[in-house]
């Protein structure tokens, strides 16, 4: 089950918001312990229905929260497009949480600094580098696609073919 830090309301300071997110995620992990679900914390951006971006969109905040909830059993759902759009070193960001990555949320952005979804493999997400790092770490989990290029079935087919081909091309 994907979990996030919630919206970054402007009246909430970084320290306060970080503490709230950590405390809430740990409490959620405690409440779901023993249930047949795995919580995965995502380096999230901003869904269309939210007024504000995710509180932990900036990579330093995401990393602080991810490290703080590690012992609770919460894993990571690493969003490739969010990392590529908002991190100066998206592969380095993945490397810092690789030991906790449960799932990969394959998405792509046409630009850095803003999440502008595009067909997977045509934007700034460094999929070959991501996948090489994952394979080097022995990771073999789920890759879920966020195909948001609005190309309908053709976009899904192209995205799936790109992800499969890129994954398989890494030794």
d(CA 59, CA 162): 27
Assess contact for 69 and 96: CB atoms under 8 A: no
In the numeric block, which tokens belong to residue 39? Answer: 């919580």
Q: What pLDDT sits at residue 47?
A: 83
In the numeric block, which tokens belong to residue 85? Answer: 């759009």
Per-residue pLDDT reduced to its tens digit, 84-103: 999 999 999 999 999 999 99
Mean pLDDT of 6-24: 97
**Residue ranges making up the domain that contains 27:** 2-169
Q: What is the per-residue burial (b if ≥16 Cβ within 10 Å, else e) of 109-133?
A: bbeeeebebbbbbebbbbbeebbbb
Q: Which helix (H) or strand (E) holds 77?
A: strand 75-79
d(CA 61, CA 44): 11
Q: What pLDDT sits at residue 14?
A: 97
Q: Which helix (H) or strand (E) holds 15?
A: helix 14-32
DSSP letters of 99-136? GGEEEEEE--BSSSSS--B--TTSSS--HHHHHHHHHH
Q: What pLDDT sits at residue 23?
A: 98
The pTM assigned to this predicted structure is: 0.95
How many domains are contained in the chain?
Answer: 1
CATH assignment of the domain containing 7: 3.20.20.150
């Amino acid at each position: 089950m994907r979990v996030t830090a919630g919206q970054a309301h402007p009246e909430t300071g970084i320290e306060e918001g970080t503490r709230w997110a950590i405390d809430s995620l740990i409490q959620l992990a405690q409440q779901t312990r023993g249930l047949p679900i795995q919580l995965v914390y995502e380096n999230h951006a901003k869904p269309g229905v939210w007024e504000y971006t995710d509180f932990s969109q900036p990579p330093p905040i995401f990393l602080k929260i991810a490290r703080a909830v590690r012992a609770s059993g919460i894993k990571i759902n690493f969003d490739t497009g969010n990392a590529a759009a908002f991190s100066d070193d998206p592969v380095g960001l993945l490397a810092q949480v690789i030991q906790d990555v449960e799932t990969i949320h394959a998405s792509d952005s046409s630009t850095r600094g803003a999440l502008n979804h595009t067909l997977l493999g045509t934007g700034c997400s460094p999929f070959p580098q991501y996948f090489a790092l994952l394979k080097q770490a022995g990771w073999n989990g789920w890759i879920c696609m966020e195909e948001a290029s609005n190309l309908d079935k053709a976009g899904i087919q192209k995205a799936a073919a790109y992800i499969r081909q890129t994954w398989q091309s890494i030794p």
